[in-house]
Chains A and B, each alone.
Chain A
Amino acid sequence: MNEDEIQLVARIRPDTAPYDPAAKAAARRGLAAASAGRTPVRSLWRRPWVALPAGALALAVGVTATVLTGGTGPERGPVQEVVVALPRLAPMSASEVLGRAARAAARTDLEPRDDQFVKVESETMYGAFTVAGEGKGEESRHLYRTRRVIWQSADGTREGSLRIEHLEPKAYPGWPIPESAYEEAGTVDLHRLPVCDPVPGHLRTDHAAVRRLPADAEGMRAHLYTGDRGGDSRDEAAWTRVGDLLRENYVPAAQRAALFEAAATIPGVDAVGDAEDAAGRKGIGVGRVGPDGVREDLVFHPGTFELLGERGIVVDEKRAQSPAGSLVASTAQLSVTVVDEAPRVEEEAAGCG
């Protein structure tokens, strides 16, 4: 017979079932969540801000060891730039640090019941970037700081909540602080975290999903590398995911150990000896340099190897557009506890991504 092989192959094309509406809706939500992540600040325009009376801020942050001079008052002197020394290599290798962290994981396990909540308190500092456009404003950068408390349902079936208290901003090294950076300081946001149909499994970082992750290093590694994240480096994406899973969460001991062991296998990850978290706690940094010239570290306690927080430090001035050694991100996980209830939040616009 002379029939074209392409036509033959076309004729055996299998029939398919229609796209399951639930799967389709989940995929669309995942996409919406991703696009929301691009411009998270949209919420600034959407939400009414809850202002705190002056003084309340200082009171609330007094709990942490962090330096917080000044309150929310009008005095806005030049803010000191946060520049620390360039990373030095740690006497311990990354896999050694992560290995110890993995073994240490077994010492702390909370085991929340399904009907309980995981509560995490943290302090954070990240870069806020304003993009200039059409003469409507100037490009600017500053470091915005918050104190956050999140309550996540252990099994994912209950509404959680999130409290964000905005602290005084800091200068992004090499950039003047824009006036607008002070607008948020002293305000508190309360958000509902509604129960949403899950986005695709490998994208989830909520507690209910994290506790079902593989408890072995190999399975966890596969999870870290699942899916093309669209970046230029899959290793970079995998390291990002390590942080995403640990951040503001409680990862059960078995999964945590697996996660640290898997993280040690990511190319480019090494250790530095002189890291510090946002609460001023010194530790060992384990991380890698990202495409933006910023080294992203997890900070571990040098004795107990518990995770303290994260930090971002400039190593490539050009790509980061900031002096080498500048601290451009810093967090501290201050407490992780299990509680019976999450505070109720009245908020109309709580949507699912």
Chain B
Amino acid sequence: MRARTRPGKGPLPHDWTKRVMALALFQRAGTPVPPSGAPGSDGLDGPASDAALIEGSLADPDGFAGLFDRHADEIHRYAARRLDDASTADDVTAETFLVAFRKRARYDLSRADARPWLYGIASNLISGHRRAETRRLKALARSFRHAPEQAAGFEERSAERVTADRLRPALAAALARLSSAERDLLLLVAWAELTYEEAAEALGIPVGTVRSRLSRTRTKIRRFLDSLEPHA
């Protein structure tokens, strides 16, 4: 709750931190791990679920690094897709896991896969970087200029791909016009490939809301694209 760290000073926080002499420490020293659902079940029944890993990290915080090892690349990939510069994506990824670590006691352990939860935290952090997000969408719109030449050289490209390429600037502009709640949801589905259920978990909204919000978002995009047609 109020742990503070002294980065660079190793295991020596000197602060208001309560020194929790958790008996879990003795467990580290060799007490058998609880039978099921704990991180130690690796190797017996295949890898532990994210939920088991998170549960184990309540007693042994170091274990939380396992979640980073599993999902950091994926979260980073998503952040890097949504934000223009790599260092911001790096920051968002680092912060996502720190936030997750601090909130882990509130994780719903009935959810075996923690990715939706992590995506939700990352989405929040990404919305805090409006400028990098806007720059990304602008860059996406500009990349159209190079697309036609490229497309000519790749005849195997599908017609749909070419359509999307042609629409790229308009789509990027449409994305920029969405509310951040709409954009978060749309991109979790379209770019992170979350299912509706996972997206609902990530954003903490009911699946029904996911459907209605997506449908509204699609209509918005459609209208925007249509509005451009006459000038095209």
Residues in chain A within 8 A of chain B (CB atoms): 1, 3-14, 16-20, 23-24, 26-28, 30-46, 124, 126-134, 136-137, 144, 148, 162, 164, 191, 193-194, 196, 198-200, 202-206, 227-231, 240, 243-244, 247-248, 290-292, 296, 310, 312, 329, 350-353
Given A9-B171, A30-B94, A31-B64: A353 and B25 within 8 A (CB)?
no
Query: A255 vs B101: C-alpha distance in the bound complex, in angstroms?
Result: 30
- Most-contacted residue by chain B among A37, A193, A205, A292 (CB, 10 A): A37
Asked if residues A291 and B1 are in contact (CB atoms below 8 Å), the reply is: yes
* Least distance between A232 CB and chain B CB atoms (Å): 9
* Least distance between A327 CB and chain B CB atoms (Å): 13
Smallest CB gap from A178: residue in B: B21
Query: A291 vs B103: C-alpha distance in the bound complex, in angstroms?
Result: 15
Chain B contacts for A46, CB-based, 8 A: 11
Asked if residues B187 and A206 are in contact (CB atoms below 8 Å), the reply is: no
Asked if residues B72 and A13 are in contact (CB atoms below 8 Å), the reply is: no
* Least distance between A277 CB and chain B CB atoms (Å): 15
Asked if residues B65 and A32 are in contact (CB atoms below 8 Å), the reply is: yes
Chain B contacts for A329, CB-based, 8 A: 16
Chain B contacts for A1, CB-based, 8 A: 163
Asked if residues A36 and B5 are in contact (CB atoms below 8 Å), the reply is: yes
* Least distance between A351 CB and chain B CB atoms (Å): 6
Residues in chain B within 8 A of chain A (CB atoms): 1-26, 28-29, 57, 61-62, 64-65, 68-69, 72-73, 76-77, 80-81, 86-87, 89-91, 93-95, 97-99, 101-103, 121, 124-125, 136, 139-140, 143, 160-161, 163-165, 167-168, 171-172, 175, 186-187, 189-191, 193, 214, 217-218, 221-222, 225
Closest 6 A-B residue pairs measured CB to CB? A230-B102, A37-B5, A11-B164, A35-B61, A27-B94, A16-B80
Asked if residues B73 and A19 are in contact (CB atoms below 8 Å), the reply is: yes
Which of A3, A243, A352 is in CB contact (< 8 Å) with B16?
A243
Query: A133 vs B160: C-alpha distance in the bound complex, in angstroms?
Result: 60
Asked if residues A126 and B17 are in contact (CB atoms below 8 Å), the reply is: yes
Chain B contacts for A129, CB-based, 8 A: 18-21
Smallest CB gap from B91: residue in A: A200
Chain B contacts for A194, CB-based, 8 A: 10
Query: A346 vs B31: C-alpha distance in the bound complex, in angstroms?
Result: 31
Q: Is the interface of A mostly helix, strand, loop or mixed?
A: mixed
Asked if residues A196 and B8 are in contact (CB atoms below 8 Å), the reply is: yes
Query: A36 vs B11: C-alpha distance in the bound complex, in angstroms?
Result: 6
Asked if residues B218 and A131 are in contact (CB atoms below 8 Å), the reply is: no
Chain B contacts for A26, CB-based, 8 A: 90, 94
Query: A247 vs B5: C-alpha distance in the bound complex, in angstroms?
Result: 12
Query: A24 vs B71: C-alpha distance in the bound complex, in angstroms?
Result: 12
Enumerate 5 A-B pairs (CB-CB under 8 Å) in ascending A order.
A11-B160, A17-B80, A28-B68, A30-B98, A227-B95
Given A40-B13, A41-B19, A353-B7, output 5 extra A-B contacts at Cβ < 8 Å: A36-B61, A137-B23, A200-B94, A228-B99, A310-B16
Chain B contacts for A240, CB-based, 8 A: 2, 4, 16
Chain B contacts for A127, CB-based, 8 A: 18-19
Asked if residues B98 and A31 are in contact (CB atoms below 8 Å), the reply is: yes
Smallest CB gap from B79: residue in A: A16
Chain B contacts for A32, CB-based, 8 A: 62, 65
* Least distance between B47 CB and chain A CB atoms (Å): 19
Which of A133, A144, A248, A296 is in CB contact (< 8 Å) with B23?
A133
* Least distance between A214 CB and chain B CB atoms (Å): 17
* Least distance between B101 CB and chain A CB atoms (Å): 6
Query: A31 vs B118: C-alpha distance in the bound complex, in angstroms?
Result: 14
Chain B contacts for A35, CB-based, 8 A: 57, 61-62, 64-65, 101
* Least distance between B195 CB and chain A CB atoms (Å): 12
Query: A187 vs B68: C-alpha distance in the bound complex, in angstroms?
Result: 37
Asked if residues B7 and A42 are in contact (CB atoms below 8 Å), the reply is: no
Query: A244 vs B9: C-alpha distance in the bound complex, in angstroms?
Result: 13
Given A31-B64, A45-B25, A131-B22: A11 and B16 within 8 A (CB)?
no
* Least distance between B210 CB and chain A CB atoms (Å): 12
Which of A9, A12, A17, A353 is in CB contact (< 8 Å) with B86?
A17
Query: A148 vs B13: C-alpha distance in the bound complex, in angstroms?
Result: 12
Given A8-B167, A243-B16: A28 and B98 within 8 A (CB)?
no
Which of B95, B143, B160 is in CB contact (< 8 Å) with A228?
B95
Chain B contacts for A228, CB-based, 8 A: 95, 99, 121, 124-125
Query: A12 vs B171: C-alpha distance in the bound complex, in angstroms?
Result: 8
Smallest CB gap from B104: residue in A: A230
Chain A contacts for B7, CB-based, 8 A: 30, 33, 196, 198-199, 203-206, 353
Chain B contacts for A200, CB-based, 8 A: 91, 94-95
Which of A31, A37, A350 is in CB contact (< 8 Å) with B3?
A37
* Least distance between B222 CB and chain A CB atoms (Å): 6
